[in-house]
Structure 1
């Protein structure tokens, strides 16, 4: 163990570099979420949900601090982000209760806001499959208070949805969660992993990561067994590396989980972590959205999401 690593399995020692420190890049926020790396632009976008902004961080080319600026204000209390196959920003917005796409010219297109005539709750996290389909979770966290959105009536259960790449139609793919949260595809896209973080204000909520097999049609889900339970805290957002290890947020930092669901090690962070993403050169830089600060650490593994 060092100041920022805790090993639970010897395999973890090959994934981290003891001379690569955990760095705090920026601080002074309220609740950070939704990091997404733009490799072609050399920048990271992330949400500060209660402050209703999306921030932009450009790493420094050499020693010294990177450049931090506001990308969008107001952001409609944006939470999670991803990129589609054309490199456009896909965002989950609590304020508008929708999933949106930012076009290359800056226009914002609403992709999903209703299901069977009823308003979505507060889309939370989103991933894009290699066929162009957009998958997102819709818990109620953004409509339960005025802190991360607008307190509103819940019209739908908290489901997981898929936006069809051809028709743009919205399809419900999973309806047996109390409140689904983070989600990610396995590197070969044969499985979908979804976090269950429970209903807000429920002290007995189940909190774990479940895993589903994806059918030959590319969208039907089967299985749903519990893959891993994070402790302390809960899995919120997570990403895979190229070896199939899952790196997930936790109350004490970032946990590395093997493809078999075993805890391999931890990156200890002095704040509760909400979400992460890989970026930087070789996609080996892990960006960490913690409570009030943005952190980063360089690993000996690469992420599998598109740059």
Structure 2
């Protein structure tokens, strides 16, 4: 149990006490945005400053998936099994078709360029939801330094038929990771504004989602006590798994911290994958880790 910090008895039902935290890739500049593709049994993730996307499979380990990735960050799989990616460099969200062709999902709002789309999730109705903080335009490390054109950093929804993204949440400092509850009635969003302003609380907020895609009743769900929340995922039981400075924090649906998976590097993001969906993949600064858990993603396998 050396890499576990149990805070609630319910944590034991989600972990294997003897499972080893395995480093399965290393040498990255800032690993981010993991997404699992069951049809190919592969994990895709971004190495943002290195301007590339990586692929991991059990057979080949880590290999380059895409050079010149336009400073890709968050990735997800849509209901058709296609790759959807946030790009700091393009200041856009793209979709990669099964034949490898790529199209723009969103690049502007109200006639002005987006900031730098960061993380993305697909709803079962085909809509695409993404966050748009300013990290990719603050410097030339993870994108291209540029002035902000939007009035703030918002959470957007692109309708299933495509078209103009609609700002559905506008009161974050820096919205980051996001995920839906198993029934998609709740949307969780990480607030990472404390990265540049210590006065911003490092919290995960939750919102009610209506059938028409509107959101309401935003409230704090949980607070990260080490570092800040970045990438987040919800499992099939409704528990929320969050990145943090000391590892992965796991919260029950009622917001209680169940426990932590301690990781020797700052964690940026996580996702569930593997042949049975019960492997947790962790992008952490320069490395990729994997851990067997007793949980799988909400909607597995259709959503991931």
Q: Could you state the TM-score of these two structures normalised by the residue count of structure 2?
A: 0.96
- The 8 Å contact of residues 129 and 155 in structure 2, kept in 1 or not, is answered as yes
The residue aligned with 1:10 is: 9
- The 8 Å contact of residues 8 and 257 in structure 2, kept in 1 or not, is answered as yes
Shift of 1:167: 4.0
The residue aligned with 1:24 is: 23
Deviations along 1:29-83, one digit per CA (max 9) or x if unpaired, are: 11111000011001100000010100000114xxxxx422101111000000011
- The 8 Å contact of residues 141 and 200 in structure 1, kept in 2 or not, is answered as no
Select between 182-191 and 102-111 the one with higher mean Cα deviation. Answer: 102-111
The residue aligned with 1:221 is: 215
Q: Structure 1 stretches (4+) deviating beyond 3 angstroms?
A: none
The answer to whether 1:205 aligns with 2:200 is yes
Deviations along 1:212-251, one digit per CA (max 9) or x if unpaired, are: 001242x111111110001101110111111111111010
The residue aligned with 1:63 is: none
For residue 172 of structure 1, give the secondary structure of its aligned residue in structure 2. strand
- The 8 Å contact of residues 42 and 58 in structure 1, kept in 2 or not, is answered as yes
The answer to whether 1:176 aligns with 2:159 is no
In structure 2, what is the Cα distance between the partners aligned to 1:199 and 1:262? 22
**Unpaired segments ≥5 residues, structure 1:** 61-65
The residue aligned with 2:36 is: 37
Q: CA RMSD in A?
A: 1.1
In structure 2, what is the Cα distance between the partners aligned to 1:301 and 1:206? 28
- The 8 Å contact of residues 24 and 61 in structure 2, kept in 1 or not, is answered as no
Question: How many residue pairs are counted as aligned between the two chains?
Answer: 300
In structure 2, what is the Cα distance between the partners aligned to 1:193 and 1:241? 12
Pick one of 212, 225, 232 that aligns with 1:231.
225
The answer to whether 1:252 aligns with 2:251 is no
**Unpaired segments ≥5 residues, structure 2:** none
Shift of 1:20: 1.1
The 5-angstrom pairing of residues 19-168 of structure 1 reads: 19-60=18-59, 66-156=60-150, 157-168=152-163
